[in-house]
Amino acid sequence: MAIPTRTLQDGTTLPATGFGTYPLTGEDGIRAMVSALEAGYRLLDTAVNYGNEVEVGEAIRRSGVPRDQIVVQTKVPGRDHAFDRAVASIEGSLERLGLEQVDVALIHWPNPSVGLYVDAYRALVHCRERGLVRSVGVSNFTEQHLGDVIQATGVTPVLNQVELHPLFPQERLRATHERLGILTEAWSPLGKRNAPFAADPVAAAAEAHGVTPAQAILRWHVQLGVVPLPKSADPERQRTNLELFGFELSADEVAAISALGRADGRLFGGDPNTHEEM
């Protein structure tokens, strides 16, 4: 299955949907990642804090998919935001992955109480100049954090990976990304443990197009211009989560799903210091 691509501001491309690897570890994790690659995923998202970079590298080798067809993302953890530590973090990731270059390197979160995220970003830019990473981005950054790193380095992140789902559609931040030319990626794109599969707009869209509620939500992401990163160890679910490009939601359906975030009334968007992906 050919997945459409999105062009990043540095001219490189990214698949329009990807595979989240947290919390896949060990032999079972490798098998799940190989299954995802066999299903057609070509974007693998990992992180130092996921503890599975070795497994990601092994899955790539076992899959037989050519390296240049796979986009690998990893993330520098908050504890390594000093310049030298961030550089060492990237070097360690490459060693664990068994790769000469990581395609996209992100700062996992800004760690604002420490306040060294600008230094960490400078380190990523340095690693790009050394050829250790192809593109540099961030995760869980606010508009203020984005402005700080752009002003300090003159290099705009290619993407910002954030929590985003129908109950937390991140409209203001997405508008900021659009203005700055930053791609939006979504972790927990289905809504963590609160996936609104039974919500009327989602259920109605799924029924209208003969798809699952999860497919309707993931297609909603795609039509918003967001790259979702669903995660599943189940081969059948992996396959169906990829089948997003043979149907299209109407503008009204997209708007109705987006409105769930305004109607829900609860606070979503957990503390990035504590959520499962840090």
User: Is residue 117 annotated as part of the catalytic site, yes or no?
Assistant: no
DSSP state string for the chain: -PPPEEE-TTS-EEESS-EE-TT--HHHHHHHHHHHHHHT--EEE--GGGT-HHHHHHHHHHH---GGG-EEEEEE-GGG-SHHHHHHHHHHHHHHHT-S-EEEEEES---TTT--HHHHHHHHHHHHHHTSEEEEEEES--HHHHHHHHHHHS---SEEEEE-BTTB--HHHHHHHHHHTPEEEEESTT-GGG--TTSHHHHHHHHHHT--HHHHHHHHHHHHTEEE----S-HHHHHHHH--SS----HHHHHHHHHHHHHH-S--S--TTTSTT-
The one catalytic residue in 22, 50, 117, 121 is 50
Catalytic residues: 50
